[in-house]
A and B are shown apart, each in its own frame.
Chain A
Amino acid sequence: MKFSIQVNEGPYQHQASDSAYQFTKAALEKGHECFRVFFYHDGVLNGTRLTTPPQDDRNIVNNWTELAEKYDLDLVVCVAAAQRRGIVDDGEAERNGKDATNIAPRFRISGLGQLVEAAIQSDRLVVFGD
């Protein structure tokens, strides 16, 4: 089955991102396909490489990056939500005159159309959030 995943909450505060990660990993290991993971609302905060959890805790951002590397996952951060919450890549830094970037490896910033496209192209859109 072809899945797309929507993550609506930030890391650590909520379990949504952990659950989305576990679900996506399990689905891929079972041979299913993941068309896209779309991060929306505070979910965009999963996409900052500046996250530094304590050493004995899981690193949710790195988990996503590593999963994306292993399975060539498309991790998309919503641009409008990202701008509100300070998630910045090179293009956004240039467009908005910011002095730094923080996007994590394998994540990319794009528009809401990517979510709608994912819903159309996939057999199931699975939403993780409150």
Chain B
Amino acid sequence: MSETKNFMFLNRRAPYGTIYAWESLEVVLISAAFEQNVSLMFADDGVYELTKGQDTAGIGMKNFSPTYRTLGDYEVRHMYVDKASLEARGLTADDLVQVEWEDWETEESVDNIVEVVDSEKVAELLAESDVVFSF
């Protein structure tokens, strides 16, 4: 399986309330083993998945938000956030976690792979993807 494709994981759900966000993250983690070009897109309520300071103690659910910050270690190169979805919810980039990425071989690094993009760019990125996993 030498073929490399552009994978896009489209996340549209709030992190809690349904299991989509968590089980989507499980696919992202597994895909690291397949050496594909992996990007994530957060839109609609999916932007809440990346918010800082989540506390799930009151709802008896596992807080899986720290996992997003490790995605740079799982071959994820880009994490895009739809600007319109963010603004519609009164959020800004400052409300979101930062995710570092580093290539261990070349020592090339990026401080934060989370990037807020406008709707036109969202459409462009989805169109460029070979596979869109929609959750």
- By a beta-carbon cutoff of 8 Å, the part of chain A in contact with chain B is 6, 8, 40-41, 80-81, 84, 111-113, 115-117, 119-121, 125, 127, 129
Contact = CB atoms under 8 A, between A and B. Distances in A.
B22 to A, nearest CB: 10
A119 B7 contact: yes
Interface in B29-74: 30-31, 33-34, 36
B41 to A, nearest CB: 14
Given A80-B26, A127-B134, A113 B3 contact: no
A127 B133 contact: yes
B3 A120 contact: yes
Those 6 A-B pairs whose CB atoms lie nearest each other, nearest first: A112-B30, A119-B131, A127-B134, A116-B31, A116-B34, A125-B131
Interface of B: 1, 3, 5, 7, 19-20, 23, 26-27, 30-31, 33-34, 36, 131-135
B99 to A, nearest CB: 21
A8 B19 CA distance: 11
A42 to B, nearest CB: 8
A112 B27 CA distance: 6
Contacts of B19: 41, 84
A84 B26 CA distance: 14
Contacts of A116: 27, 30-31, 33-34, 36
Contact of B23 (A41, A120, A121, A127): A41
A80 B1 CA distance: 24
Contacts of B7: 119
Contacts of A40: 23, 27
A117 B34 contact: yes
